């Protein structure tokens, strides 16, 4: 058992894609902190093909061997039926769902010119629709009990773009917007949603980096943030964190001071050219925290 009390004892945590990599590390740490864990994993390969029960079963065995409580589920997150099955497993076994970590993921990397509709759709099915279906199934329960903690798993690929990942980066940026809006809608019901952009050694990244680097990127270095964000007294919602190899940081949206032209006098392409360095100058950039703050600058001088 862990030293710190995060109010996780007896809580039920559903971790999707928990048969390996990051999900497995999250599942083990939640169990160590006293949560009942639903270990979901389709058990397929990295590109989304195939399925099996072995991966999830193994993690459940590990949790039980360490004295924790867990149950396996082998449904796919990418259909409503599968997601409902995952949440049903939590309710049938442990009575409810308090925590949902949307973690399941696959890759279909190709340069945009070679990308097929199937590569595009499959990535959306797992990352965007998978997060949607699972959250949709858990949300009414969390609302009803006025308690919920939800994690979205984004990626630096979504935040910054990454060659060969137009499908994945679009999907990962999508779950950031999803999580931020859920944070607003869940506020009244004590449902807190936060988003992580992790870096870790897993079958997804093992061919991309040398062994000495991978050794420093243990999934176990990401899970403490996830577990902490799902603790009872967590005081943030709608935030985005980068996490990996022991480095943990929060990200914000910055907007340059830019220029404010007078629409009554016309807004022209020539003015764009004239003001180009000002528009791009980040010297006095401001952090924006909400859509209201964002639209304010455009609207105030129209009032």
Ligand X SMILES: NC(=O)c1ccc[n+]([C@@H]2O[C@H](COP(=O)([O-])OP(=O)(O)OC[C@H]3O[C@@H](n4cnc5c(N)ncnc54)[C@H](O)[C@@H]3O)[C@@H](O)[C@H]2O)c1
What are the residue numbers of the active site? 168
How many CB atoms lie under 10 A from the CB of residue 37?
A: 30
Q: Which residue is nearest to ligand X (CB)?
A: 21
CB-wise, 45 or 295, nearer to ligand X?
45
Instruction: Give the interface with ligand X as residue ranges (CB under 6 A).
Output: 16-17, 19-23, 40-44, 46, 48, 55, 76-78, 103-106, 126, 130, 153, 155, 198-200, 202-205
Q: How far apart are CA 162 and CA 67, in angstroms?
A: 41
Least distance between ligand X and beta carbon 56 (Å): 8
What does the alpha-carbon distance between residue 77 and residue 126 come to, in Å, rounded to a whole number?
Answer: 6
| Closer Cβ to ligand X, 40 or 194, answer by number | 40
Question: Least separation, in Å, of the C-beta of 17 and ligand X?
Answer: 2
CB of 207 to ligand X, least distance (A): 12
Residues 253 and 240 sit within 8 Å (Cβ to Cβ): no
Q: Exposed/middle/buried for 142, CB within 10 Å: 0-12, 13-18, 19+?
A: buried
Minimum CB distance to ligand X smaller for 105 or for 147: 105
Alpha helices in 115-194 (DSSP H): 117-123, 130-145, 156-160, 166-186
Considering the complex, state which of residue 78 and residue 89 has its C-beta at the smaller distance from ligand X: 78
Give the nearest distance from C-beta 197 to ligand X in angstroms. Answer: 6
Place of tokens 């964190």: 241
Q: Which is nearer to ligand X, 35 or 197 (CB)?
A: 197
How far, in Å, CA of 91 to CA of 101, rounded?
Answer: 16
* Residue with Cβ nearer ligand X (54 or 187): 54
Beta-bridged to residue 38, according to DSSP, are: 14, 71
Residue 280 Cα distances to 122, 275, 285, angstroms: 36, 9, 10
Report which DSSP code applies to 3: S
DSSP sequence for 11-78: -EEEETTTTSHHHHHHHHHHHHTT-EEEEE-----TTS----SHHHHHHHHHHHHTT-EEEEE---TT
Reading the block at residue 174, the tokens are: 């999508």
């Amino acid at each position: 058992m862990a030293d710190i009390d995060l109010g996780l004892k007896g809580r039920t945590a559903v971790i999707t894609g928990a048969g390996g990599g990051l999900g497995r590390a999250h599942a083990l740490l939640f169990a160590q902190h006293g949560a009942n864990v639903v270990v979901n994993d389709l058990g397929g390969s990295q590109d989304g093909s195939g399925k099996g029960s072995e991966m999830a079963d193994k993690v459940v065995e590990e949790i039980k061997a360490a004295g924790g409580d867990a149950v396996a589920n082998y449904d796919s997150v990418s259909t409503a039926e599968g997601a409902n099955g995952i949440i049903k497993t939590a309710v049938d076994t442990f009575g409810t769902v308090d925590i949902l970590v949307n973690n399941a993921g696959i890759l279909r990397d190709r340069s945009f010119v070679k990308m097929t509709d199937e590569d595009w759709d499959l990535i959306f099915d797992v990352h965007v629709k998978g997060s949607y279906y699972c959250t949709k199934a858990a949300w009414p329960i969390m609302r009803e009990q006025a308690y919920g903690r939800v994690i979205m798993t984004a990626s630096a690929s979504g935040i910054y773009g990454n060659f060969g990942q137009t499908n994945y980066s679009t999907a990962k940026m999508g779950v950031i917007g999803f999580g931020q809006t859920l944070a607003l809608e869940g506020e009244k019901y004590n449902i807190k949603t936060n988003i992580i952009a992790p870096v870790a050694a897993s079958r997804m990244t093992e061919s991309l980096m040398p062994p000495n680097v991978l050794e420093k990127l243990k999934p176990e270095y990401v899970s403490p943030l996830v577990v902490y964000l799902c603790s009872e007294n967590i005081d943030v919602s709608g935030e985005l964190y980068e996490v990996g190899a022991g480095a943990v940081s929060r990200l914000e949206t910055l907007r340059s001071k830019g220029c404010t032209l007078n629409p009554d006098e016309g807004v022209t392409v020539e003015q764009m050219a004239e003001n180009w360095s000002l528009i791009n100058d980040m010297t006095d950039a401001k952090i924006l925290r909400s859509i209201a703050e964002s639209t304010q600058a455009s609207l105030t001088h129209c009032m």
